């Protein structure tokens, strides 16, 4: 815990369970939380705001919102994000939905410690150009140095050499061809770290 930041995901279909988890995290050394929205439930924006604020108040830690409508069916609106960004503990959003939202967020959120996280490396160059300034990396689990160097160059608007581009494309293809989670676990297992296999139906082919 002294050598890295630990972020903990908090989400549940039942708000009561998410609240209980947040409460238990409060006294720990966890660095911050990532708040996810319940799949299938399809809360209204108002209900999502209540859910989010309650978790933040109980946990009292730096908070990143996680909007992933493709997985949950729920899309946190720009208006809701702007409202939540005013809370002191809210330091960013991991936006896996409409990347065009980012321009509006950048324009309307003035606090300097609010960051936009890209979920994974797909279309990362375009996302950085739109204003994403943090990366929740997937490929970094097996090629941390290469992905970190590439991302930092993108942020600094530095030129990516052809050799670097070929290397990154190879890493991304290795991870994203098929199921990324299956590929990651396979590669990590092959490196001698027993991380186990995926539960079915993922990886059952």
**Which pTM does this prediction carry?**
0.91
Q: Let me know if 66 is a catalytic residue.
A: yes
pLDDT of residue 202: 87
**Which residue is catalytic, options 37, 51, 66, 117?**
66
pLDDT in tens, 90-149: 999 999 989 889 999 999 998 999 999 999 999 999 999 999 999 999 999 999 999 999
Name the active-site residue from 61, 94, 127, 186: 94
Coil vs helix vs strand at 172: helix
Instruction: Give the single-character DSSP code of 72.
Output: H
- What is residue 61's DSSP assignment? S
Is residue 63 classed as helix, strand or coil in its secondary structure? strand
Give yes or no: 40 in active site.
no
Nearest to 139 by CA among 98, 97, 167: 167
**If you average pLDDT over residues 22-28, what whole number do you get?**
96
């Amino acid at each position: 815990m002294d050598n890295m930041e630990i972020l903990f995901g908090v989400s549940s279909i039942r708000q009561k369970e998410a609240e209980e988890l947040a409460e238990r995290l409060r006294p720990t050394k966890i660095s911050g939380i990532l708040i996810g929205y319940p799949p299938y439930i399809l809360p209204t924006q108002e209900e999502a705001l209540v859910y989010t604020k309650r978790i933040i108040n109980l946990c009292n830690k730096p908070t990143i919102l996680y909007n992933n409508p493709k997985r949950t069916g729920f899309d946190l609106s720009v208006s809701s994000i702007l409202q939540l960004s005013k809370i002191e503990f809210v330091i960013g959003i991991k936006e896996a939905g409409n990347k065009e939202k980012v321009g509006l967020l950048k324009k309307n959120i003035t606090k300097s410690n609010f960051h936009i996280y890209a979920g994974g490396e797909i279309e990362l160059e375009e996302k950085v150009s739109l204003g994403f300034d943090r990366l929740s990396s997937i490929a970094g689990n097996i090629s941390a140095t290469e992905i970190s160097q590439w991302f930092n160059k993108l942020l600094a608007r530095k030129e990516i050499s052809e050799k670097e581009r070929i290397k990154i494309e190879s890493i991304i293809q290795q991870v994203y061809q098929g199921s990324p989670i299956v590929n990651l676990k396979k590669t990590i297992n092959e490196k001698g770290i027993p991380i186990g296999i995926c539960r079915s139906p993922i990886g059952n082919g």
